[in-house]
Structure 1
Amino acid sequence: MEAIEVVKEWVKLFNKADAGGLSELYSEDAVNYQIPNEPVEGKSAIRDMFKKEFAEAEMVCIVENLLQDGNWAALEWRDPLGLRGCGFFYIEDGKIKLQRGYWDKLSFMKTHNK
């Protein structure tokens, strides 16, 4: 599967708050590094991270731009509450090997009353 197709599936599962489905898109040794936080390493730890985050806040990813360059996909997103960010996904053998996300954690916390 092409990088852009993996990220399209990622957005679909994210918007369903499907932590288990999302984790299946990652390789066993994947790293998810949301820059405001510490990196999360490994498929099961990534699944647990999503479970925790989905339990704490309702999140929606609206795609603004989705671009591909070889094994890399870049996602620019927004949500209905006015938050914005971007993510970079490195795909190897149809699985996410590395994900980096950039967003404003303080704005997220204020918006979700954290």
Structure 2
Amino acid sequence: MTQISPREIVQDWVDAFNKADANLISEFYHENAVNHQVAENPVSGKEAIFKMFEQEFSAAEMICIVENIFEDGEWAILEWRDPLGLRGCGFFHIVEGKILLQRGYWDKLTFLRQHNLPLPTR
């Protein structure tokens, strides 16, 4: 049996992300996965990650355009942009064909402004 590579998993993850389907995208994660978008607190567990995506997909229309996907062992690195000009990158640790850890780096303030979402207050 051929195992799918981390690069292929991330490409499939992008396809699911672009469908804005929280059920589909949450299937890419281990039960005990952590998704840490560094502009936010880490989200732990597949169910919590599902809820995070469900909320995010309902708040804004998001599209991920792949610029590069790099692979190094169990890791895949995604460089992306969106149609509004936001750019970012994500690091995915893939274990046994599932995402165990994801870290994402992007400009939250720009994202909120582009989507006319409330800005944080102090």
TM-score above 0.5: yes
Unaligned ranges ≥5, structure 2: 118-122
TM-score by length of 2: 0.93
2:106: which partner in 1? Answer: 103
Q: How does 1:1-114 map to 2 (within 5 A)?
A: 1-114=4-117
Name which one, 1 or 2, has greater alpha-carbon Rg.
2
SS at match of 1:87: strand
TM-score by length of 1: 0.99
RMSD, aligned α-carbons: 0.4
Q: Distance in 2 between matches of 1:59 and 1:44?
A: 21
Alpha-carbon distance, 1:40 to partner: 0.2
Unaligned ranges ≥5, structure 1: none
Q: Distance in 1 between matches of 2:14 and 2:91?
A: 13
Tell me the number of residue pairs that the alignment of Structure 1 and Structure 2 aligns.
114
Structure 1: which 4+ aligned runs deviate by more than 3 Å?
none
